[in-house]
Amino acid sequence: MNKTEFVYVTFIRTTPERLWTALTDREFTAKYWFGASCESAWTAGSPWALRYADGRLADSGEILESDPPRRLVIKWRNEWNPAFKAEGDALCTMTLEPVADVEVPVVKLSITHSIERADSAFIGAVSGGWPRILSNLKSLVETGEILMKPAAHAA
């Protein structure tokens, strides 16, 4: 079977412990996930959910690996788009590595989002979403402010 994979790497001025908290704290995730929040006990075998601010389920899954503050692996299923949901479970791996030989703490954050399916529309969609989310995360951790807020819609 073919695989579709998206990889994104960024460097964030912080410690691995602080970045782990930013990735796993429900209230903090809501700040950079455009109002959605990640919910889990963050231990292997525990359920995982991404919920919109109004409580609707965006994505669901299970924590497959949790090695704070180094590695997190999530079995991930889209819940809001029937075509994406029909593709089945994807795998999201987050790796946090401290950068050596720099003056201030810096962490290399690598996100790999993949699915055992050729030409996945879901992975195509997340390849546009992850850069926005991680740009917000980086800005929030480093400056205290997010980079992009959702546009207000006219009534």
Beta-carbon contacts of 84 under 8 Å, excluding residues fewer than 6 positions away, are 78, 121, 122, 125
d(CA 106, CA 38): 24
Give the Cα separation of 124 and 84 in Å (integer).
10
Q: Is the pLDDT of residue 155 over 90?
A: no
* 1 band by pLDDT with thresholds 50, 70 and 90: low
> Domains of the chain (ranges plus CATH)?
4-143 (3.30.530.20)
pLDDT top residue among 1 and 50:
50
pLDDT tier at 106 (50, 70, 90 boundaries)?
Answer: very high
Which one is predicted more confidently, 152 or 58?
58
Q: What is the mean pLDDT of residues 53-64?
A: 96
Averaged over 31-59, what is the pLDDT?
A: 96
Q: What is the average pLDDT across 54-59?
A: 95
Give the pLDDT of residue 42: 98
Q: How many CA atoms lie within 13 A of 67 on its CB side?
A: 9
What are 107-154's pLDDT values in tens digits? 999 999 999 999 999 999 999 999 999 999 999 999 999 988 776 544
pLDDT of residue 147: 86
**Is the pLDDT at 84 greater than 80, yes or no?**
yes
pTM here is: 0.92
Mean pLDDT of 65-72: 98
Whether residue 50 has pLDDT greater than 60: yes
- Confidence (pLDDT) at 138: 97
